[in-house]
Chain A
Amino acid sequence: MNEHIQAVSEALQEQFAAQVMEFRGQTSLLVPPEHILAACRILRDEFDFDMLRGQTVVDYWPQQEPRFHLIYLLYSLPRHMRLSLRSPLNGNYPTIASVESVYPNANWHEREVFDMFGIRFEGHTDLRRILMPFDWVGHPLRKDYPLGYEEVQFSFNYDEIDRRKPYARE
């Protein structure tokens, strides 16, 4: 762990009770969800992490509780350093503060997270679905979302499926 990352980890540990995790030289900080906005602001303003490279979620259902880990991938252009923040979220439809006010590009990232996982962001200016149709029901990347496989038409069951398959008319 280099000096800058070390300083960052210590600061966040002290202020927000963050836990430091390291894996193969990559550092990630486990930040409680209520502090995520403040942590992002400090990282941007005081520690040069001026770019949000990505925002994503892992759904650990049913192995782990809390089931969602919201992940922020930060990058520092002047220092050429990467850092990821993880925020464990309780419950099936959790709410967390939006970081759009710190990183404006979080707007679309958070819309995608909302669309795919159903996590709501407080303070987001335009929380709509971004990938799925607006009238879609459910959040497809959750582990408990039904796969919805369609039965494949082979020669032995062709007629049977043909009878109930919807076809378009003129």
Chain B
Amino acid sequence: MGVEQKLGNMGVVTLKLEQVVNWTRTNSMWPMLFGLACCAIEMMSAQAAHFDMSRFGMELMRASPRQSDLMIVAGRVSRKMAPVLRRLYDQMPDPKWVISMGDCASCGGVFNNYAIVPGVDEVVPVDVYVAGCPPRPEALIHGIMTLHEKVRGEKIKDWA
């Protein structure tokens, strides 16, 4: 009923390299284990049994930036945290992606003052913004799906 029967015993699937690499990247995209504020609670529940991000190959939150592919900026970034965040980003190996989770990380949210960075895109390049205060786990998962779509569309000439 699947592709196996159509192929017979060939055991071969032809694909573009671009597609197969992008496919593997989307299905084991490990996020970095860190949260900055209340959005992190929603991120945790997105990981937990009810929403279960392991459906998308993301059950492992890596506690080290060296082992992670995806940075989910969950919460407001203070001016003092900003250089730390950038350093974590720089320590992640390529290819790497950033999701800005919630209003505070995306645009400063309710904070408009000296202490909070108005939008984490001043510090790290962001791929997907997730709106909400805080976003529900479904919203985060939708953001991750959007990122997967983006990754699937990446071109071989952009990898370098």
Measured CB to CB, the residues of A under 8 A from B are 131-133, 136, 140, 145, 147-150, 152-153, 165-170
Contacts and interface: CB of A to CB of B under 8 A. Distances in A.
A147 B112 CA distance: 9
Interface string B112-151: 1111001101111100000000000000000000000000
A132 B125 contact: no
A5 to B, nearest CB: 38
A167 B125 contact: yes
A140 B114 contact: yes
B79 interface: yes
B155 interface: no
Given A136-B79, A145-B114, A150-B112, 13 more contacts: A131-B80, A132-B79, A132-B80, A133-B79, A140-B114, A140-B115, A147-B114, A152-B112, A165-B119, A165-B122, A167-B121, A168-B121, A168-B122
B125 A170 contact: yes
Main secondary structure of the interface of B (DSSP, over half): loop
Given A140-B115, A148-B114, A168 B123 contact: yes
26 contacts: A132-B79, A132-B80, A133-B79, A133-B80, A133-B83, A136-B79, A140-B115, A145-B114, A147-B113, A147-B114, A148-B113, A148-B114, A149-B112, A149-B113, A150-B112, A152-B112, A153-B107, A165-B122, A166-B122, A167-B121, A167-B122, A167-B125, A168-B86, A168-B121, A168-B123, A169-B125
Interface residues of B, number: 17
A170 B126 CA distance: 10
